[in-house]
Amino acid sequence: MAEATKKAFVTGHPIKHSRSPRIHGHWLAEHGIDGSYEAIDVAPEAFADFLAGLRANGYAGGNVTIPHKEAAFAGVASRDHAANEIGAVNTLWFEGGTLWGGNTDAHGFAANLDDYAPGWAGNGPAVVLGAGGASRAVIHALKQRGVRDIRIVNRTLARAVELRDRFGAGVSAHGPAATAELLRDAGLLVNTTALGMQGNEGLPADPALLPGHAVVNDIVYVPLETPLLAAARAHGLKTVDGLGMLLNQAVLGFERWFGVRPKVSAELRALIVADLVPKP
């Protein structure tokens, strides 16, 4: 008997703008795998039932995005180390009959910097702008990669303090007034705030305050070149856009569901970049 088609999904609310089906669809075709990856809109009140029905509905697993990452964290039977550290689950899979939840955002973040700014982890103190869910994944990755001085800056200081307490040694919390002083000797600046996103134009910090060897990364990827990255580039600094984090976080889920570790190729990136440009 032929093996059944392997099914995976991304769920969120809303979900129609997700790029994940294109990414996984590209890899399924590239590897000639008999599989599917669909976007499923699930309202928050229906999420627990959705999780409970995954196995009966024949899914090998899937991705979870806003606003379900915390509910997925609470709803799985087992979690990997990254999910526990970050407090959110973005990837689901089964081991035996057990539903596992993992978090691949930190891997995506670090792999993106490895691709475009090799050696980044040894570049000096890191300034992280923002203290939401994305910031937690970034801080976990920085700690994993041995960055010893991590400076969280957030509009709402209390949220930065919460993360400092969560992640402990080597992590400090600051309000925006401290930014200039914190940037002066930083080797890495990461924006995880919504500032700079399409429709929310603005500069979350002035990259001209950084030393010349600093790397600037925005995890926002629409637009691909955010005002922060444009200003950093104009100042002669090395910049890394956020698309590579999205592409790299997808790798580990695909491997779990379909059994092949896919590559983040120039062709895949071009395919998704073309999709970011609004069609006339």
Q: Quick one: 232 or 245, whose CB is closer to ligand ATR?
A: 245
Q: Quick one: 33 or 189, whose CB is closer to ligand ATR?
A: 189
Asked if 159 interacts with ligand ATR (CB under 6 A), we say: yes
3-state helix/strand/coil string of the chain: CCCCCEEEEEEECCCCCCCHHHHHHHHHHHCCCCEEEEEEECCHHHHHHHHHCCCCCCEEEEEECCCCHHHHHHHCCEECHHHHHHCCCCEEEEECCEEEEECCHHHHHHHHHHHHCCCHHHCCCEEEECCCHHHHHHHHHHHHCCCCCEEEECCCHHHHHHHHHHHCCCEEEECHHHHHHHHCCCCEEEECCCCCCCCCCCCCCCHHHCCCCCEEEECCCCCCCCHHHHHHHHCCCEEECCHHHHHHHHHHHHHHHHCCCCCCCHHHHHHHHHHHCCCC
Asked if 133 interacts with ligand ATR (CB under 6 A), we say: yes
**80 closest CA partner among 66, 93, 68:** 93
Euclidean distance between CA atoms 142 and 148, whole angstroms: 8
Select the residue interacting with ligand ATR from 91, 154, 179, 239 (CB under 6 A): 154
- We find the least distance from the C-beta atom of residue 14 to ligand ATR, in angstroms, to be 15
Select the residue interacting with ligand ATR from 13, 22, 155, 166 (CB under 6 A): 155
Q: Quick one: 26 or 69, whose CB is closer to ligand ATR?
A: 69
Chain length of the chain: 280
Asked if 252 interacts with ligand ATR (CB under 6 A), we say: no
- We find the least distance from the C-beta atom of residue 69 to ligand ATR, in angstroms, to be 8
Asked if 156 interacts with ligand ATR (CB under 6 A), we say: yes
* Contact window for ligand ATR (CB under 6 A) among 92-100, 130-138, 178-186, 241-249: 130-138
Q: x/- contact string, 87-126, with ligand ATR (CB under 6 A)?
A: ----------------------------------------
Euclidean distance between CA atoms 118 and 135, whole angstroms: 21
Q: Quick one: 112 or 154, whose CB is closer to ligand ATR?
A: 154
Select the residue interacting with ligand ATR from 75, 101, 125, 130 (CB under 6 A): 130
Please pick, among 6, 7, 16, 69, the residue that the annotation labels catalytic. 69
Q: x/- contact string, 162-201, with ligand ATR (CB under 6 A)?
A: ------------------------------xxxx------
Residue 6 bears catalytic tag = no
Q: Which residue is nearest to ligand ATR (CB)?
A: 132
- We find the least distance from the C-beta atom of residue 128 to ligand ATR, in angstroms, to be 10
Pairing of strands 150-153, 215-218: unpaired
Task: Give contact residues for ligand ATR (rule: CB under 6 A).
Answer: 130-135, 154-156, 159, 192-195
